[in-house]
Structure 1
Amino acid sequence: MNVQASVSQLTQHKNNQANLPIASLVERILSREEGILTSTGAVRATTGKYTGRSPKDKFIVEDEETKNLVDWGNVNQPISEEVFLNLLNKVSDYLSEQNEIFTFNGFAGADSKYRLPIQVVTQFAWHNLFANQLFIRPTEEELASHSPEFTVVSAPHFKADPEVDGTNSEAFVIVSFKHRVVLIGGTEYAGEIKKSIFSVMNYMLPTKQDVLSMHCSANVGSEGDVALFFGLSGTGKTTLSADPNRRLIGDDEHAWSQNGIFNIEGGCYAKCINLSEEKEPQIYNAIRFGAVLENVMVNEESRLPDYDDTSLTENTRAAYAIEHIDNIIQPSIAGHPNTIVFLTADAFGVLPPISKLTKEQAMYHFLSGYTSKLAGTERGVTEPEATFSACFGSPFLPLPAAEYAKMLGEKIDEHDAQVFLVNTGWTGGPYGVGNRMKLSYTRAMVQAALEGELNNVETAQDEFFGLAIPQHCPGVPSDVLNPKKTWNDKEAYNHKAIELANKFHDNFKKFDHVTEDILQAGPIYKEQNR
């Protein structure tokens, strides 16, 4: 059976529930006992042992085109077309035997000039509701003429046999750019559906349309000024972009074309750990009917979600349509960015809470993508781990990091964007000793950056990293701005700063084709001084 026949077998399933309205999907979820209804009106589902992405089980099919374009390695693992086709046929046969399956037709990419028509076929009704919330929903007119150019097939209860099927485990996420199919099995974690399409767009937009795709959130001010927030999961992209004084463009995935910024998605996928109405009112109030809560503990009697309970995972999530946020821009399109913020959750506790970057430093830190993997975002991560993720999103980048960095650098130059590095991680000591940076302080620093209040403020150079630290910021104690001053043990700070500086230098060795000015924009403390 060929690919087209396998996909057609699914879409022609006698009980293929296609493009069901939200209310009907919720009814199906409840009747099939896939989830429960919470007091907020949102559905809560759990995902079993897979409560985060499974990067070791993600593959790209190596073919005539991808073999020369994809950055192969631990992130982009190659798999043969034969293995993919065999698994696709097995999954197709498996889903065809189900009593019913569910299909969502929509788009990735808010700008109609660059959008990708997609189709998501799922075994679970709640996964289809998830797709409905996260991707761009078509109008009735668009649906009538919808012709998918990429299909996601998700069968969580189909378990692969690694010895027979050529996978690493029972779970698999396989992307075939030749056949325009994403095949997911063995995992119930809905985030794989979202991120697989992001990976697809990270390949298609730069190579086919000369558009930069980015792992970032974005919002726009009253004067039309646009801000981007880069960062891995848990660094604050969703929280900081949901600003009551600015309109949200999107919380996670964007593209930068010759016309400006557009959201790749139609919804948000927010972390729920310790969520409160006081700290994050927009996200808290977005969790209502139509939204999906993932692995959030719920009181059996009151059905109240307990966002502080991490019994299942710290990676608790809420998926909701962007329309659930009051202060948004529609369609999710805006002009060229004025300010770019790189977010990092520094588990060492030595990076400044905010620093101004030169163009060269911006390129260095974009390529470095330093942060800490936070508990729960990937299987096996139980406490913060220092890591480098090129372009603040290497798990989702099929192309070499230098391709995205080159495009970003050109756009920073062309549009004179100001770039800041913001540490939302630890202060006063490393993880286990210090504390997370207060959200109120981070908000004040970001607001000052967006309003231009830090453009001409006095700065001091960080002695280890060479970063320009503002000496004053409205709403933030001056001592907080200098990380060393927050540590009781200054010698311990020096040791940690040196340790992190060396990690930066070691990591950057793989970028052997960058210009000398970018190479020199890293930490002042050099490797040879060890």
Structure 2
Amino acid sequence: MSGEKFESSHGLEHHGIRNVSGAYWNLATPSLVEEVIKRREGHLSHLGPLVVSTGHHTGRSPNDRFVVRQGESAKNIWWGKVNKEFSPENFDRLYHKLLAFLQGKDIFVQDCYAGADPAYRLKVRVITTQAWHSHFARNMFIQAPRQELADFVPEFTVINAPRFHADPEVDGTRSEAFIIVNFEKKVVIIGGTSYAGEIKKSIFSVLNYLLPRQGVLSMHCSANLGKGGDVALFFGLSGTGKTTLSADPGRALIGDDEHGWSDNGIFNFEGGCYAKVIKLSASAEPEIYETTRRFGTVLENVAMEYATRRIDLDDDSLTENTRASYPLTHIPNIVRSGMAGHPTNIIMLTADAFGVMPPIARLTPEQAMYHFISGYTAKLAGTERGVTEPQPAFSSCFGAPFMALHPSVYGNLLKDKIRRHHVSCWLVNTGWTGGPYGVGSRMKIQYTRAMINAAISGRLVGVEYETDPVFGLHLPKSCPDVPAEVLNPRNTWADQEAYDRQAVELARAFRRNFVDYADAVSDSVCAAGPPAG
């Protein structure tokens, strides 16, 4: 069904949804924008982007995410802090309460794909109670051709109802918000939060369960393609520059956040981007900046002056986590198929606020697996409640909140593929140099781009390297367009003894963190981390 409204639950009975006021199926973007405005869910800004607010929840709620412990998945899921178990009985009760809540409501449906490669794509149905969330889903997933919609049978369904709140004492949730994945019933239910990122990340979690069991490495990374056909992957947590650095005018963007690596090569999971836009620079990030001025973009929690309808990307009064959701076609230089060959280079990004990690280092396959499983970056003061000074942060596979299986599963797949396809791996610090946060300065983006371009182009292959004694990393002594003194972080500190103390302390944090994974990986990978000292 395409672009239609039914004054009934037509087509939704399969999901147990009955007696809705109206069902809007696969509305196109202009129709969805009209519905958003009519329903007062958002506002049009200057030049056409839609501005919406998510209310209390301005980011993901990882503590409210659960997985139903049932059936075959129960023995495969990596249970613990990331994948918290939810009983089938509690799920069934909450699901039926949600279905009752939907009665008499208008429903918006988008039928779409997750995964550009037809051999591995997942048919996804997104059912929402708000038009702007349907718009978001249309942006973020891959739109199914109109001729395929008539026979579309979903393999997984997301039901999103922000105004439906759970009762923790009765329903077994932690709060009134919930994101619950049920692999047996092939459904995700979301309530109590309007943050749209929960929709896309819930399906990412599903793919992270399904694809590795087919030999496909699912990855939280961006990817781009050079003019010579070389593919580069960029791993990194929020704030490390993953989206910014992959949006290179000289290379075609494959995708900015989620990819699979099969025996055929790389493929994007998504049809859009979900970029962080706080203090976005028109000069440093021109392609992303332009998307904030185009019809079809959804601007989440971005401040707007209502008299002129002009947005202010520097205003963080609602949240520091302002976002833009836009289709990939808003970027001028993209790989339209969403697929490419095997990567030539992998770049692992960190924003080290302690100023001791090197700006670029070459990694062995074992070191790549170690740093992939570690997933290091740093939290800055003020980014979270209670964080008053920089703190090390580790998120396995650069995306722990979305990993359904043990990190070693993804790590071993990565190491095997790196060896099989002779991939060069690099660790790049986009954080601080010359001292920690508050003393040193953020690494200049032009230096980071120059280092990445040198690595990708092969210009770092023949240069001389030195081994960092604290982290065991291989540091180039020279790099085109980068001052030599920048390449060794110790040389940038006025007090080099203070550097030594800080570096040793961070190395200890790496070793403490890796204890949880040591039993599941080889001794050679354990030895690839910072040497004990």
Category of TM-score, reference length = shorter chain? over 0.9
Pair 1:459–1:370, CA change in 2 (3 A): same
Q: Aligned partners of 1:169, 1:31: CA distance in 2, in Å?
A: 31
Q: Any residues of structure 2 matched to 1:146-295 within 5 Å, and which?
A: 146-207=152-213, 209-287=214-292, 288-295=294-301
Superposition deviation, residue 431 in structure 1: 2.2
Change (3 A) 1:381 1:94: farther
- C-alpha contact (below 8 Å) 1:340/1:418 kept by paired residues: yes
Q: Which amino acid aligns with 2:315?
A: D
Q: Is the 8 A contact 1:260 1:334 kept in 2?
A: yes
Question: 1:218-244, CA deviations, whole angstroms, 9 ceiling, x for partnerless residues?
Answer: 011011000101111221111111110
Query: What one-letter code is carried by the residue in structure 1 that aligns with 2:75?
Result: N
Could you tell me how far 1:489 is from its partner in structure 2? 2.1
Counterparts of 1:66 and 1:234 in 2: how far apart (Å)? 33
- Compared with structure 1, are the counterparts of its residues 9 and 67 closer, same or farther at alpha carbon in structure 2 (3 Å cutoff)? closer
Instruction: Provide Cα deviations, 1:300-322, integer angstroms capped at 9, x if missing partner.
Output: 22222111111111111000000
Measured in 2, the distance between the counterparts of 1:37 and 1:257 equals: 41
Per-residue deviation at 1:513? 3.2
* Residue 390 of structure 1: how far off its partner (Å): 1.1
User: Does 1:521 pair with 2:524?
Assistant: no
Q: Find out whether 1:447 has 2:453 as its counterpart.
A: yes
Asked whether the 8 Å contact 2:260–2:266 carries over to 1, the reply is yes
8 Å Cα contact 1:352/1:423 also seen in 2: yes
Give the Cα–Cα distance (whole angstroms) in 1 for the partners of residues 396 and 167 of structure 2: 32
Aligned partner of 1:339 in structure 2 is 345
CA 1:258–1:382: 2 relative to 1, 3 Å: farther
1:205 and 1:213 in contact (8 A); partners too: yes
Relative distance call for 1:382 and 1:36 in structure 2 (3 A) is farther
Match of 1:94, SS state, is helix
Aligned equivalent of 1:129: 135
From 128, 141, 148, the counterpart of 2:147:
141
CA distance in 2, matches of 1:279, 1:439: 8
Task: Give me the whole-angstrom Cα distance separating, in 2, the residues matched to 1:383 and 1:281.
Answer: 32
RMSD of Structure 2 on Structure 1 (CA): 1.8
SS of the equivalent of 1:371 reads: strand
Shift of 1:247: 0.5
1:39 is the counterpart of 2:46:
yes
1:454 Cα offset (Å): 0.9
Instruction: Give the secondary-structure state (helix, strand or coil) at the position aligned to 1:10.
Output: coil
Distance (Å, rounded) in 2 between the aligned partners of 1:281 and 1:429: 30
Match of 2:526, as an amino acid?
A: L
Aligned pair count reads: 521
Q: Which of 54, 58, 82 is the aligned partner of 2:61?
A: 54
Distance 1:418 1:33 in 2: 50
1:91 is aligned to 2:98: yes
Residues 481, 246 of structure 1: CA spacing in aligned structure 2 closer, same or farther, 3 A cutoff?
A: same
Distance in 1 of aligned mates of 2:390 and 2:321? 13
Classify 1:69/1:456 alpha carbon distance in 2 versus 1 (closer, same or farther; 3 Å).
same
Corresponding residue of 2:411: 405
- Mapped to 2, the partners of 1:519 and 1:101 lie a distance apart of 51
Which residue, out of 326, 340, 348, partners 1:320? Answer: 326
Pairing 1:16–2:23 present? yes
Give the deviation of 1:7 after TM superposition.
5.4
Q: Per the alignment, do residues 470 and 382 of structure 1 end up closer, same or farther by CA in structure 2, a change over 3 Å counting?
A: same
- Please report how far the alpha carbon of residue 429 of structure 1 lies from its aligned counterpart in structure 2 after TM superposition: 1.8
Alignment-mate amino acid for residue 140 of structure 2:
L
> Is 2:378 the partner of 1:372?
yes
Aligned with 1:310 (options 284, 307, 316)? 316
In structure 2, what is the Cα distance between the partners aligned to 1:345 and 1:46?
A: 28
Query: Counterpart of 1:429?
Result: 435
Aligned equivalents of 2:267, 2:186: Cα separation in 1: 23
3-state SS of 1:91 partner: helix
Please state whether the residue corresponding to 1:71 is helix, strand or coil.
coil
**Residues in 2 aligned to 1:271 and 1:11: alpha-carbon distance in whole angstroms:** 37
% identical aligned pairs: 57
The list of structure 1 runs, each at least 4 consecutive aligned residues, that deviate by more than 3 angstroms after superposition, is 4-14, 373-385
Give, in whole Å, the separation in 2 of the partners of 1:265 and 1:339.
21
CA deviation vs aligned residue, 1:140-173 (integer Å, no higher than 9, x gap): 1122221111000011111111001110001000
The letter for the 2-side match of 1:87 is: L
Q: What is the CA distance between 1:378 and its match in structure 2?
A: 7.3
Change (3 A) 1:303 1:508: same
Query: Alpha-carbon deviation of 1:374?
Result: 6.1
Worse-superposed segment, 368-377 or 59-68: 368-377
Say which is worse superposed, 135-144 or 428-437, in terms of deviation: 428-437
Of 477-486 and 113-122, more deviation after overlay is shown by 477-486
Give me the TM-score of the superposition, normalised by structure 1.
0.95
Structure 1 residues 468 and 433, CA, compared in 2 at 3 Å: closer, same or farther? Answer: same
Paired with 1:260 and 1:515, the residues of 2 have a C-alpha distance of 26
Q: Kindly tell me: are residues 12 and 145 of structure 1, through their superposed partners in 2, closer, same or farther at Cα, counting changes over 3 Å? A: farther
* Partner Cα distance (1:123, 1:442) in 2: 43
8 Å contact 1:274–1:308 — kept in the other structure? yes
8 Å CA contact 2:267–2:338 kept in 1: the answer is yes
- Residue 375 of structure 1: CA displacement? 7.9
Does 2:393 match 1:387?
Answer: yes
1:78 aligned residue (81, 85, 101) = 85
Asked if structure 1 preserves the Cα contact closer than 8 Å seen for 2:21 and 2:104, the reply is no
Once the two structures are superposed, residues 297-342 of structure 1 have per-residue CA deviations (whole angstroms, 9 ceiling, x without a partner) of 1122222211111111111100000011010012100000000011
Provide the C-alpha distance between the structure 1 equivalents of 2:463 and 2:266, rounded to a whole number of angstroms: 28
Cα distance in 1 for partners of 2:283, 2:93 equals 51
Report SS of the residue matched to 1:214.
strand
* Cα distance in structure 1, aligned partners of 2:384 and 2:401: 11
Q: Is the Cα contact below 8 Å between 1:427 and 1:434 reproduced in 2?
A: yes
Amino acid at match of 1:88: Y
What does residue 505 of structure 1 align with? 511
The structural deviation recorded for 1:11 is: 7.5
Aligned partners of 1:389 and 1:6: how far apart in 2?
Answer: 40
Residue 27 of structure 1 aligns with which residue? 34
Taking the aligned partners of 2:83 and 2:247, their CA distance within structure 1 comes to: 32
**Structure 2 residue identity aligned to 1:441:** Y
Point out where structure 1 has 5 or more consecutive residues left out of the alignment: none
1:36-55 residue CA offsets vs partner (Å, 9 max, x unmatched): 11113110111112111111
Query: Which residue identity does 1:197 align to in structure 2?
Result: I
Cα distance in 2, alignment partners of residues 56 and 166 from structure 1: 13
- CA distance 1:384–1:301, change in 2 (3 Å): farther
Aligned to 2:469: 463
Range with bigger deviation, 136-145 or 265-274: 136-145
Per the TM alignment, residue 56 of structure 1 is displaced from its structure 2 partner at its CA by 0.5
What is the identity, as a one-letter code, of the residue corresponding to 1:219?
Answer: N
